[in-house]
Chains A and B, each alone.
Chain A
Amino acid sequence: MAVTSGPNDLSSEMEVDAFRRLFPLRFHERHLLESLRPDGRPLGRARDTTLMLGAVASANGSAMAKIGSTTMLAAIKMEVMTPTAEAPDEGCIAIEFHMPPICSPLVRPGRPAEVAPVISKQLSDTILSSGMIDLKELCLVGGKAAWMAYLDIYCLDADGALFDAALLSAVAAFSHLQIPVVSLNDDGRIVIISEDNNGGAMKEKEPVNKEKIKLKLKSVPFSLTCVLHKKYILADPTSEEESIMETFLTVVLDSSFQLVSLNKPGGPGLTNSSAIQDCVTLTRQRVKELQKILNEAISDMEVD
């Protein structure tokens, strides 16, 4: 944590914590000179990431993702709906991102966080445009009934790279999702069969889908946010880094390294093509890491 002090520098006369608070930008730049960050990471490395599937027992699919201390809880609830006339053989996914006041001192009760609807929109754009989920798989009876998947993501601890953690938890929740068993009742309506009474009663009524099925996920998207400051690229910033160095770029790649989204919303710095290329390279490495973490979480789940 100690800063190597040079001559003519206030940092040699001041406590590290005081220097950090008074001159946050210089504090970070001194670290960058040493190719190190205040939490001891090299510039291009993301924080430790953990993933736990099935965190919410009452949901059809759920996951908790932690990147460093950024924590996201995602849960999916399935409901039967009538498909729209435009897409009679497709289901629907509704994604909502919540930032309750618990997650950060910047969010006040009663006043919703400004970034929450933006991240919500980016998440649904990314998940729907990536083609990860074939909406036709969510169809039950063409034109009559289809699944509506409500995905809610709660941010429990907002310590930077919110979109990355939210996307990871969303993807994990979809890979944990089990579509419940349903059957047609006498009125021709779809009813969900609860697990307790799937005895003789179920056999008479023909179930529409025989057993709990999992969605086939193809080309799963993963993302990495990088802060760009001068010539440095910092992968997976903490909220402190995000607030001090305000230019950031989020790259989303799918498992076959196709570009799903490259989002740089303004900010004080300009970005040239070579910096973007470097971010894409960092994201490629990160996609491999995240894929491994997701696969491990899934296999852990199956062992249980």
Chain B
Amino acid sequence: MDSERKGGRGANQLRPVDCSRNVLSRAHGSASCSHGETRVLAAVYGPKAGTKKNENPEKACIEITWKPKTGQIGKPEKEFEMILKRTLENICLLTVHPNTTTSIIVQVVHDDGSLLPCAIHAACAALLDAGIPLKYLAVAICCCLTESGNILLDPSKLEEQKMKAFVCLVFPSSIHSVLPEGSISIGGESKGDGIITSLTHGVMRVEDYFQCVEQGRAAITPLSNILKKKLQSQSASNLSKAG
């Protein structure tokens, strides 16, 4: 199986993930995230007073601007904006800052597959950097389904194009890594079971979809641990610099 993927990756092996906060000086919060060659830059401005038209003023409003690497903003960008907005609405505590707007600008630096997961991680880290209250982090993963029914995680652009179907899933970061061992309640497990966002492309069997969900979920815990470690180590070094 290993030889099937470029770079000698196993089917369940993710590309190296890197995430750094506070990369822009003027933004209230910013982050840069990379999955292998895919790289996304995110900046957060706000919360600013007032909400847009047709938004609920009793809650905070999130505004996303998706900038592609090249070219004009078209329908795919609008779709990404909508998905990212609704995904971040899930993880933010919207009632803490009612009647405000937080704008997030997402700039694609390079797209080599699994773009949406990378953008979600970058946006999350930028929100964290800006100090926007969050319920949990969103951890996203792309799964690809090959013609023979195998599932590959974190596909590159080339793999995405060759595949029969792919699924993009966003989970809340597993609470297992936050809570100390043994304190996981039954209520918590049902939360860990939840899916924030699901997107699919291509025809597949229903069972294959659930297989993807299982495989994706299994990969979430290590991925969220890596992301948290990256973000924590930076906040520690920032504090020591300030002190």
Q: When the two chains form the complex, which single residue of B78, B79, B88, B198 contacts A262, counting CB atoms closer than 8 Å?
A: B198
Q: Which of B16-24, B36-44, B106-114, B206-214 contacts its partner? A: B206-214
Q: A117-B78, A259-B206, A266-B85 are in contact. Are A129 and B201 (CB under 8 A)?
A: yes
In the complex, what residues of A have CB within 8 A of residue B54's CB? 106
Q: When the two chains form the complex, which single residue of B75, B190, B194 contacts A121, counting CB atoms closer than 8 Å?
A: B75
Q: When the two chains form the complex, which single residue of A258, A277, A280 contacts B204, counting CB atoms closer than 8 Å?
A: A258
Chain B residues 189-243 with CB under 8 Å of chain A are 190-191, 193-206, 208-210, 213
Q: Is the CB of A264 within 8 A of B78?
A: no
How many B residues touch A, CB cutoff 8 Å?
38
Does B76 sit within 8 A of A, measured CB to CB?
Answer: yes
A117-B79, A265-B82, A266-B170 known; 13 new pairs, CB 8 Å cut-off, are A106-B54, A117-B74, A257-B206, A259-B200, A262-B198, A262-B200, A265-B86, A265-B199, A266-B196, A267-B90, A271-B195, A272-B195, A273-B195
Q: Is the CB of A270 within 8 A of B191?
A: yes
Mark A residues whose CB is within 8 Å of B: 106, 114-115, 117-118, 120-122, 125, 129-131, 219, 249, 254, 257-273, 276-277, 280
Does B87 sit within 8 A of A, measured CB to CB?
Answer: yes
Of the A-B pairs whose beta carbons lie under 8 Å apart in the complex, a sample of 13, sorted by A's number, is A114-B82, A117-B78, A117-B79, A121-B78, A219-B203, A258-B203, A261-B200, A263-B200, A265-B86, A266-B90, A267-B90, A267-B196, A270-B194
In the complex, what residues of B have CB within 8 A of residue A122's CB? 79
In the complex, what residues of A have CB within 8 A of residue B191's CB? 270
In the complex, what residues of A have CB within 8 A of residue B210's CB? 273, 276-277
Q: Chain A binding site: helix, strand, loop or mixed by DSSP?
A: mixed
Cα A219 to Cα B205 with chains together (Å): 13
In the complex, what residues of A have CB within 8 A of residue B201's CB? 125, 129, 261
Across the two chains, which residue of chain B brings its CB closest to A253? B206
Closest 9 pairs between A and B when the two form their complex, measured CB to CB: A270-B194, A266-B86, A266-B87, A121-B75, A117-B78, A272-B193, A264-B198, A117-B75, A265-B86
Q: Is the CB of B86 within 8 A of A259?
A: no
Cα A259 to Cα B161 with chains together (Å): 19
Across the two chains, which residue of chain A brings its CB closest to B77? A117
Cα A214 to Cα B197 with chains together (Å): 38
Cα A130 to Cα B201 with chains together (Å): 9
Does B83 sit within 8 A of A, measured CB to CB?
Answer: yes
Q: When the two chains form the complex, which single residue of B170, B193, B199 contacts A273, counting CB atoms closer than 8 Å?
A: B193
Across the two chains, which residue of chain A brings its CB closest to B164? A129
Q: When the two chains form the complex, which single residue of B167, B195, B209, B213 contacts A270, counting CB atoms closer than 8 Å?
A: B195
Residue among B201, B203, B204 facing the most chain A CB atoms (10 A cut-off): B203
Q: When the two chains form the complex, which single residue of B79, B86, B190, B206 contacts A267, counting CB atoms closer than 8 Å?
A: B86
Q: Is the CB of A259 within 8 A of B85?
A: no
Q: When the two chains form the complex, which single residue of A118, A254, A264, A276 contacts B79, counting CB atoms closer than 8 Å?
A: A118
